[in-house]
Amino acid sequence: MHIINYCSIRKGKIANAERVLFSSDEYQLSSFLKSYYKINKISYPKFYKMDAQCKLAFIASEVLFTDFDREKYKDEEIAMVFANSESTLSTDMDYWESAQTIASPALFVYTLPNIMMGEIAIRNKIKGENLFFIAEDFDSNLLLQQTELLFQNNPTKIVIVGWVNYESEERYLARLFLITKTGDGMLFNKENIEKLNKD
């Protein structure tokens, strides 16, 4: 298993390995992501409907897919395994607040953590396997093991591995890895994950 690309978003900074791609003094996630969206001229109106956690996952996936030869793979050959700690707690609380007056279906749909994979799937026409785990902390063993198991199922050639966790406008973290079964480049193993996570 090899790492094709990597992206992290935290503390007002979007980085690809050691290279900082975008940073802002504006730590507040929503305005920070919006400025990235505008500066990079992304045109995807669905972005504005997403909750903060999905926006975080979406922008990270846009960065991850830069320079990726998507056309080389069939829709079914790309799988996703994601995890986080919060599930969708922030949106759960917003939804429940709304439900005291008029429950919002537009919020309710975002009370499922796997929706972020659905958003990335729609944007990039990805139809492979989907798995969402909840863990207290970033768990490289879990993600490595599940990625390996996904590659054992025949059609899977690429796995997007993600940790996307939103607690508040100040506390958020996205780490996305684009992994290929065969090829060259940095090995997808515990040591390299930890190295990348240090940025």
Partner 1 sequence: MQKITISGSNIISSLGFTSEENFQNVLSGQSGLKFQSKDAPQPLSKIDAEIFQEQIMGLGLSKKLTRFEKLCILSINDAVSQSSIDIKSEDCLIILATTKGNIGLLETNNERSKAIHLWESAGKIAAYFHASNKPLVISNACVSSVLAQVVAMRMLKSKQYKNIVVCGADLISDFIISGFQSFKALSPLPCKPFDLNRNGLSLGEGAGTLIFTNENSKALFGGAAVLAGASSNDANHISGPSRTGDGLANAILSTLNQSKIHPGFISAHGTATPYNDEMEAKAIALSGLQEVPVNSLKSFFGHTLGAAGIIETIITLFAMDKSIAIGTLGHEEYGVSEKINLISKTVDLQFNSFLKIASGFGGCNAAIFYSK
Considering only residues 60 to 119 of the shown chain, the ones binding partner 1 according to CB under 8 A are: 75-76, 80, 85-87, 89, 92-93, 95-97, 99, 102-105, 108-109, 111-115, 117-119
Dihedral of the CA atoms 146, 53, 23, 21 (nearest 10)?
A: 40
Q: Which of 23, 155, 119, 4 is nearest to 70 (CA)?
A: 4
Task: Judge contact between 77 and 157, C-beta under 8 A.
Answer: yes
Binding part of the chain for partner 1, among 5-13, 16-24, 124-132, 184-192 by CB under 8 A, reads 124-132
Could you say which of 125, 185, 191, 194 contacts partner 1 (CB under 8 A)? 125
Which amino acid, residue 36?
Y
The yes or no reply on residue 51 touching partner 1 (CB under 8 A) is no
Which amino acid, residue 195?
K
Smallest distance, Å, CB 75 to partner 1?
A: 7
Choice between 67 and 137, CB closer to partner 1: 137
Q: How many chain residues are in contact with partner 1, going by CB under 8 A?
A: 51
Choice between 77 and 199, CB closer to partner 1: 77
Task: Judge contact between 80 and 128, C-beta under 8 A.
Answer: yes
Q: Is 116 helix (H, G, I), strand (E, B) or coil?
A: helix
Task: Judge contact between 99 and 107, C-beta under 8 A.
Answer: no
149: its two tokens: 């198991």
Binding site for partner 1 (CB under 8 A): 75-76, 80, 85-87, 89, 92-93, 95-97, 99, 102-105, 108-109, 111-115, 117-119, 121-122, 124-136, 142, 145-146, 149, 152-155, 167
